[in-house]
Chain A
Amino acid sequence: MLRVLKPGLQSSLQGPPRFGARQYGIPYAGPADSVSMALANRLVGNQPSQTALEITYGGFSALVEADCAIAIAGANDQALVSGQTAPSHQTLHVKAGEEVQLPPVARGARTYLAIRSGFQADELFGSSSTYMPAGFGGVSGRALKDGDQLIPIGNGTSALTLETPAGLKPVFTHNFALRSTPSAEVVALSDAARETLFSESFTVGRQATRMGLPLTGHTLELETDGLMKSAPVFPGTIQCPASGDPIILLCDAQTTGGYPRIATIARCDRHVLGQIRPGDRVTLLERSPEDAAKALEQKEALLKTWLDTPQSGHAFQLY
C-alpha cells in the first residue's frame, strides 16, 4: 500500500485499454507506453495490463504504508528508496515507513510503477484506465493528488526478485524515428508536403498530452480546404488541420475527427509515443503496411520471450 506524497506533473492509474466502446465516443485510454508498463508488471508477476501507476516526467514520491513488491520501468532509470538508489527494471521489496521517490527525468516522459497484484481502481466498460477529460476509471477519474491512498488488489508482497533482460531495457533519447504508413487523406497533401512529412525532422510542440503530440517546424500544404465528414481516428493516427501543423494522436485520442488523416504510426512503434516530450525531434519513416506488419511480428516475438508467461496466458501483444 502506498500513499502519494508528491504526484508530479500528472500521475494516474492505467490498466488495459477500454476496447470496444469507441462507437459511444469512449477513447481507449490505458498506458501511453504499453511496453514499459508491461515490463514493470512482469517484474512483480502481474499480467501486462494490470493496473499500474503512470508518472509523467518523474518528480513523484510516495510513502510505503505496508510492505510490498514494486517495480519501475520507463523514463526513470532509477528510484530512491528512503534516499538510497534503487534500480529500475528490478523487483523492489519495500517496507512500511520507507519513501519511494522518482526524480525528475531528462529524457523520455513516462515511468510506470507496478505493484504485486495491481492497484484497486474504478472500472468502466471493463477497464480501470483513467480517462481524465471525462473523469472515469482510476481514482475517481482524475490525476492523483497528494494524500491519495493506492491499495493493491491482493497481497502486495512477493518472494521473487526478477530483472528485465538487458536487451529489453529501452533507452530514450531526444530523437525518435517512427515507422508509419500513409493514411486515407494523404492525397490532401501537396507532393512537396508529402515529401516533407516522410523526410524532415519535426519538433514536438508544448501541448504534448495523452491525447496528442503536436508537430512543429514544417507547415504542410493542404490541397483541399481541410474539412471533411468526421471519420474514425485511433491512437497513432496523424491528422493535419487547416493550419498545416500535424498532430499525432495518442492513447486518449478522440474517436472521430474531421481533419485529413495523413498517416498512421505503425503498431510496432506506437508504444514509443508515450515517451516523447516537448522539444524532442520526430522523424517519420515511411513503410508499406506489409513492411510495418513484419516489423511488428519481429518486435512482438522479441518481447514475448520475456513478457509471455503462464499468468498472461502467453497472450502478450502490442496494440
Chain B
Amino acid sequence: MPADLVLERIGDDLIEFRVDSPSAARSLAQQLRDHEIGEDVVAGLARVTVRFHPRDAASISARIHDAVRTPKPDTQTIPVQHIDVHYGGDEGPDLRGICDTLGLSQQAFIDLHTSQTHTVEMMGFTPGFAYISGLPDGLEIPRLADPRPRVPTGSVGISAAFTGLYALAGPGGWPLIGRTQASLFSPERTQPFLLSPGQPVKFRSV
C-alpha cells in the first residue's frame, strides 16, 4: 500500500485518495469494503473514493489509514473467464482502421489480443461495463471523435490500452473490434454479471 496516502475531501460526504494503478485502486477499495469503512467504496482507474455520513467525518480519515495499513489476506482467487469474440466485420467495424493505424494485419491483431491473459481492472460507467487491461503498451488507440448513439450488447471495444466490454447496449465512444455472444449481464441470475473486478480474462476468436 502507498505509505504516503493523501486523503482529499471532495464533498461533505466524500473523501478520496490517488493510487498509481487500477489494480491498486481495486484491491485497496476491496480492503476498505472488507473493513466496512463508510457507506460505499468505489474504485476509479487511479482513485478510490469513500462515501460516508458527514457525522462520521472526524473519524473517517483515521479509519481509512488503519484499514489500508492492515490488509486482510487475499484468499480469493477468481477463475479465468474465457470469452468468445467474433472479431471484425459488421460486429467489429473499427478493426480494419485500427489495424491500418497500427500497421498490423487483422490476424496479427487478433493473435495479439487472444494470446494475453487480460485482467478486469474496473467495472463502471454503465452496469457491467468492464475496463480490461492486458493490451501491450504502445497500442494507444484514441476514442472515436463522434461516439455512436447505440452500441449493441456484447460489443468489444478498445481505447488507450484497455479492452472494454459493453454488457448493455447504449451510447459508446470506443472503437469496436468485435462482439461476444456471452451473457455479460443477466438480472435473473444469482450473479447478474459474468465478470467481476480483478478477474483474469482470455479472449478466443470464433
A residues bordering B, Cβ < 8 Å? 19-20, 22-27, 122, 124-125, 131, 133-136, 141, 181, 183-184, 229-232, 234, 236-237, 254-257, 261, 264, 266-268, 287, 289-290, 292-293, 296-297, 317, 319
Enumerate chain B residues within 8 angstroms of A264, measured Cβ to Cβ: 10-12, 14
Partner of B57, one of A181, A237, A289: A289
- Among B44-52, B73-81, B94-102, which stretch is in contact with chain A? B44-52
Residue contacts A-B, CB under 8 angstroms, 28 given: A22-B42, A23-B29, A25-B126, A133-B126, A134-B126, A134-B168, A141-B187, A183-B10, A183-B14, A184-B47, A231-B45, A231-B46, A232-B124, A234-B42, A236-B11, A254-B126, A255-B124, A256-B42, A256-B125, A264-B11, A289-B12, A290-B57, A293-B12, A293-B57, A296-B54, A297-B54, A317-B53, A319-B39
Distance in Å: Cβ of A133 to nearest Cβ of chain B: 7
Question: B124's closest neighbor in chain A, by CB?
Answer: A256
B residues bordering A, Cβ < 8 Å? 8-14, 16, 29, 39-49, 51, 53-55, 57, 122-129, 131, 167-168, 170, 185, 187, 192-193, 196-197
Distance in Å: Cβ of B154 to nearest Cβ of chain A: 14
Distance in Å: Cβ of B4 to nearest Cβ of chain A: 18
Distance in Å: Cβ of B31 to nearest Cβ of chain A: 13
Q: Which of B10, B57, B131, B192 has the most CB of A within 10 A?
A: B10
Partner of A181, one of B12, B46, B131: B12
Distance in Å: Cβ of A178 to nearest Cβ of chain B: 12
Distance in Å: Cβ of A228 to nearest Cβ of chain B: 8
Enumerate chain B residues within 8 angstroms of A183, measured Cβ to Cβ: 10-11, 14
Distance in Å: Cβ of B117 to nearest Cβ of chain A: 22
Partner of B42, one of A23, A131, A261: A23
Partner of B12, one of A19, A229, A267: A267
Partner of A261, one of B10, B39, B40, B54: B10
Distance in Å: Cβ of B78 to nearest Cβ of chain A: 14
Enumerate chain A residues within 8 angstroms of B44, measured Cβ to Cβ: 229-232, 256
Is B126 in contact with A24, judged by CB distance below 8 angstroms? no
Enumerate chain B residues within 8 angstroms of A141, measured Cβ to Cβ: 187
* A133-B170, A134-B126, A289-B11 known; A24-B193 Cβ under 8 A: yes
How distant is the Cα of A26 from the Cα of B196 in the complex, in angstroms? Answer: 13
Distance in Å: Cβ of A257 to nearest Cβ of chain B: 7
Question: B9's closest neighbor in chain A, by CB?
Answer: A289
Known contacts A23-B124, A296-B54; 20 further A-B pairs (Cβ under 8 A): A20-B40, A24-B128, A24-B193, A25-B127, A133-B126, A181-B12, A230-B45, A230-B124, A232-B16, A232-B48, A232-B49, A254-B126, A256-B124, A256-B125, A264-B11, A264-B12, A266-B12, A267-B13, A292-B11, A297-B54
